[in-house]
Each structure stands twice: as structure tokens, then as C-alpha cells.
Amino acid sequence: MNRMQPLNNKKTFLLLFLILIFTFILYSPVINYDFLRCWDDYIYTIENQIVKEGMSLIDIDRIFGSFLLGNYHPLTLLSYTFDYSIFGFQPQYFHLVNLLLHLMNCLFVFVLIYRVSKRSGIALITTLIFAIHPLRIEPVAWISGRKDLLAAMFAFLSLIAYTYYQRQRKLNVYILCLVAFILSLLSKAMVLGLPAMLFLIDYLNKKHLVFDRWFEKIPFFIVSIGFGIIAWIARQTYQYQLSENVLGVGYKVLIAAHRFVFYFILRQFLPFWPSLLQPYLSNNLPIPFAYYAVFSIVIIIFIGLILIIWRRNGNLFFGAMFYLVGIAPVLLVVTLGYSADRFTYFASPGLTFLFILLFVHIYNKVKVHSILRNSTIAFGSVLILYFLVLTMSYLPIWKNCLSFTNYVIDRYPRDPAAYLNRGLVYQERGEYEKAKQDFAQAFKINPNYADASRRIGEIFHKLKNPDSAYYYYQQTIRSDPANVEAYFLLGNLFYDHGQDEAAITSFTRAIEFDSSHAEVFFNRANSYGRYGMQKAAIDDYTTALKIKPDHERALFNRAVGYTITGQHDLAILDLNQLLELQSDNHQARYARAVALFKRGAYQDAKKDVDILLRDKVPVDPSFVEAVDRSIQLK
């Protein structure tokens, strides 16, 4: 067994410090990048009610008892909540936290590789490549990549703790190892294979796989199985039906092989074109025999390499199996919809470690000062420089939604989701013609793309073309009969054109599919009110307020409904509550004056009228005269 080189070398610490500083400088432009609304950032942060409540109103039950986009990662949501409580929704601070987490992971990678290899030089090179590799861009530059950074950080900490426990056998170190593993899974379920990695660390000491310490691994496997079940349940609750869910077993195996060979092996060395939205193989397309052949050959070679080095070189076997075990959950279990660079984040040090060892082995085998040895050094230096240049050139892709979607469309011009996302950027900017063109292109590529047809309908609705809007909303419903948003928008279209009965029908259909949206009840209430069904309108306003207690328009409209139906006391209660929230709401004050007048509280009505007149708010002179006359008569 090689003895561990002592970590008291000032040169090693200096080099590690320089790597961390260089990494910070390399990724520092991301601090000025924006939220990517087109790619989950708003869902995780700005539009997330849990995050917006902040740390002072934190709801632990909601954070730890809910799923988001088919994932269970409460600790990640907690970190966003913490960021918001301190900095608000300023993207530079969210990006800064991501960058600092990456630096922490670089430090942990160094410590882990040093402790398993016992060689500081190998650990430094592995850390450098891990830090600057182009495949690290996505989790660092993307605010929603926080889950991968947190999960990896706690997983690395757990493995490091185990290397200490293995030698010291102290209970507190064992507990740290287990707790860090749990925290990792609470960030994201991509490290389910960590218990198997503990056996790999045991293997490094014994030079063969040992299971005599299996009992101490039982809690880790129980935790892993438990979180695996939670991850599976979370995936089933994801509303968007992913294409892979309808694939046969053969296609799923092929997809797994495709990901492993092209995205998780070859792209480690040829990381051209960041896989921001990497579409999967289509179930409708025939698969060439060459696909099977290439996948099979590469996988057989990789497995053969593992078998060859199993007993010959513990470090090589550790590196290969670390990567394989680390990538397995995202390869077969956790991955949703698209393959992505971030899925390699935690496992990548294993493959890097493996090939650095092979590189060093070749270097040591050739003669000193020989051309081959010099060429080996030159090749390694060029490879690191190549990774650095790619990272610098690809980083600006993540600057904002427009740069992001433009890149994806250039890479995948037949991916409808890319056009939809860019269309959303243009729609938010008010560039409706450009938005309509992109939505139309997405719809052209996939005529059953409900999100695209719905968005086209929204644009036509905005541009006051009701016939075209109606056509595309109906097309959306044909493609997705349970599309709540389409029924809601169709109801709005009918309401805008005075067709209250049709609007009520559309809103009702939306509620039948999902009764958790306050705005649907609010809009149906408006339709009921205008249609003369005041009691039904009041009931819907009440439901909207139960769902969203701070829905101020629902509070005001319900008060109006109470006034119309002669329930003046209830109207005044609603308006009192609204004016406590908005003392300068002149419309509410005017409505309260009317309700007070109808109830016979003329003096109180007079006070509201005087405030309105003082603030130069137009008040019907006949109403002012009626209030004054009533006071005189009383």
C-alpha cells in the first residue's frame, strides 16, 4: 500500500488556492447574468410562493412535503428562501452563491481524491479539470442548478467523512457521514448510489471487494431506498408527460445506452456544444443498426476495462466504478425529459481520476527526456487549455434567456421546445410578432404541441384577433383535453366579448380539472356577476379568497356583490379589510361610502366622501347631495 503524502506542503496549498482563485475568476461573469425565466429559474425562485414567504414565514411542512417539477429537493428550496430573505430577488447574489458552492465542491474533490489516492499531485490535477471543465458550466451558471451543487457538496463531504471513519472508527464521524448523505438526498436524489461507493473506499484499502463491514452500511442503504421511492413518487406527480414515459423497454434501454456513451463518456473528452436541451431519440423513428453497434462496443470496452483493472490497480478500479455508480441514478432512475451536462457533476471526478492515472502511468513508462514523454506532457497541457477555452466561450450562452434560446435553436432547429422558450422571451418583451413566429414554428414542427398552440392563441387574443385566438385555444384542447390553462384563456376570450354563458362553461371545465387556481374562480365570478347570478358570483369570490387570501380584487368584487344583494354589513367588512391593506384605494373607499349610505350610516359615509373630495377624487355630485340631505333629515 502506498503511504499517504503528508499535506503540509506549502506548495500544494498554494497551488490549490490558485486553482480556487482562478476558478472564481473564470466563472465570475455569471454574477452579472440574469434569471433564466425560460428554463425553470422563475419556477424555482420568483414565482415560488414558498421562497417568496422568506425565512420569517417559512413553512417547513410545505417545503419538506411538496414536489417541484418532478423532483424532491427541500434543502434546495430552503437555500433559495435564505437567499431571498437576505438579498431579495437579485440574480447576482443567487449566482454568487452557486459559484461559491462550486468552489467548495472543488475543495472537497481535492480532499477526497487526495485521501483515496494518497498523492497530492493527482488530487490537484483532478481538481483543476473538475473546476474548469465545460460540463461544469450548467450547474454553476444556471440558478436552478443549485440542487446539483448542493447534492454533490454534501455527498463529497459524506465520502470524505467515511475515509476518516474507516481509519478512526469514531461514532461522531460515522454520524457526520450519514447526516451529510441525507442532506445530499434532500438537495437532489442524484446520489442514491453513494452507499455502494463506501464499499469502493473499503476496497482501496483491502485491494479486493470486502463485505465484512456490511452491517454499518445498512442505514445508508435504507436511506437510499427510501429516497429512491420518494424520487419515483415525485416523478409520477410531474404533470408534463415526458416522451420517455410512452417508450417501450427496448427504447428505454437504448436511451440509457445512448446517454451513457455519448453524453456521459465521450463528452467528458469532447465537450463540444453544451447540451442545454438535449432531445432524446424518438419512438417513431427507426433506429439504425450502427447505433446498437456503437453503443455495444463502447459499453463492452468500458466493462472489459473495469474487469481487467479490478485486481490489478485499485485506484483505476475505484475511478471507473465511482463514475459508473455515480452516474447510474441519473442514467436509469432520476433523469427527466432531457439529458443534460449537470447530470455528470457529482460522478465526473471518478472518470477524471481514472484517466489521469492512466496518463501518469504512460508518462512513467516512457524514457526520461524522450519525445514521447514530452509529447505526453504537451498533450495533457493542450487538453486542459482546450477545456478552458471551451468553458470561456460557452459561458456567455447562459447570460439571459435570449442568448440561451438562440443557442439551443442553432443547435437543435427541429426542437419545438426551443422555439417555444424563445417565443416566451419575446412575449415578455412585448415583441408579439416575433413571439408569434416562434410559437408558430414550434406548432409547425409538432402540431400536437399544446403549449405552442395555446401561446399562439394568447398572442392573437392580445392582438385583438378573437377568431384566430379561438381556433388555437380549441386546437390546444384537442391536443390536450385536460389543459386547464386553455379552458381558462378560452373563458377569458368569451368574457372579453360579452359571452358570459360560454365563459362560465369554459371556466367550469377548467375547475373540473384543477380547482386550486384562485384566478379561475375569480374570473368565473366576474362572469356570474355580469350574467346576473350574484349569489354564485359571491360564492366564487369566497372560494378564490380561500385559495389566495390576499386576492384584493376578489375582496373588492365580493363587497360589490354584497352591496348589490343588500348585504351591506358584509360589504362593509370586506371593504374595511381592503382599506386596512390599501388606505389609498379610492375605489374601495367610494364603494364603502355607498354601502354605508345604503345601511343608513350617513355620518360614516360622509367621512369617506370628504376624504375622496379632499384627495380630488371625482364623486357623483348627486351622491354627495344625497348624503348631505340624509344627514340633515336625520
Q: What residue segments make up the domains of the chain, in order of their start? A: 10-397, 403-566, 567-633
DSSP conformation letters of 281-299: PPTTSPPPHHHHHHHHHHH
**Considering Cα of 77, then 193, then 180, then 148, what sign does the dihedral take?**
negative
What percentage of residues in the chain have a pLDDT greater than 90? Answer: 54
Q: For residue 585, give every residue at least 6 positions away whose Cβ sits within 8 Å of its Cβ, in sequence order, or none.
A: 556, 578, 579
Q: 269: exposed, middle or buried (C-beta count within 10 Å: 0-12, 13-18, 19+)?
A: exposed
CB 143 within 8 A of CB 95: yes
Residue 501, exposed/middle/buried by CB under 10 A (0-12, 13-18, 19+)?
A: exposed
What are the counts of helices (DSSP H) followed by strands (DSSP E) for the chain? 32, 0
DSSP state for residue 189 in the 8-state scheme:
T
pLDDT for residue 248: 52
Query: Which DSSP symbol is given to 339?
Result: B
C-alpha span between 244 and 334 (Å, rounded)? 12
Instruction: Tell me, rounded to whole angstroms, the distance of Cα 186 from its chain centroid.
Output: 14
Distances (CA, A) of 286 to 251, 279, 362, 447, 466: 11, 16, 42, 21, 41
State the CB neighbour count (10 A cutoff) for residue 253: 13
Q: Which of 550, 549, 547, 544 is nearest to 526 (CA)?
A: 544
pLDDT score, position 269 = 76
Q: Are 314 and 88 in contact (CB under 8 A)?
A: no
| pLDDT for res 593 | 93
Q: What is the pLDDT of residue 273?
A: 62
**Measuring CA to CA, which residue among 24, 132, 140, 138 is closest to residue 386?**
132
The answer to whether 187 touches 147, Cβ cutoff 8 Å, is: yes
Query: For residue 239, what pLDDT is reported?
Result: 47
pLDDT at 137: 94
- Residue environment code for 296-329, b if the CB has 16+ CB neighbours within 10 A, otherwise e: eebeeebeeebeebbeebbbbbbbbbbbbbbbbb
CATH topology of domain 403-566: 1.25.40
Backbone angles phi, psi at 285, to 5 degrees: -100, 140
**How much is the pLDDT for 336?**
45
SS3 content of the chain, % helix, strand, coil (to 5): 75, 0, 20
In the chain, which stretches have pLDDT less than 50? 1, 239-246, 280-285, 334-337
CA-nearest of 555, 572, 596, 575 to 610 is 596
Strand partners, 126: none
**pTM (global) more than 0.85:** no
Task: State the burial class of residue 623 (Cβ atoms within 10 Å of its Cβ: 0-12, 13-18, 19+).
Answer: middle
Question: Which among 270, 55, 273, 20 is positioned nearest to 130, based on CA atoms?
Answer: 20
pLDDT tens column, 211-249: 567 888 899 999 999 998 998 888 776 644 444 444 555
Residues 6+ apart with CB under 8 A from 506: 487, 488, 490, 491, 494
472 vs 477: CA distance, rounded Å: 9
C-alpha of 225 from chain center? 23
Specify the pLDDT at position 214.
80
Task: For residue 482, count CB atoms less than 10 angstroms from its CB and return exposed for 0-12, middle for 13-18, buried for 19 or more.
Answer: middle
Q: How far apart are CA 436 and CA 423, in angstroms?
A: 7
Q: Which pLDDT score is estimated for 1?
A: 44
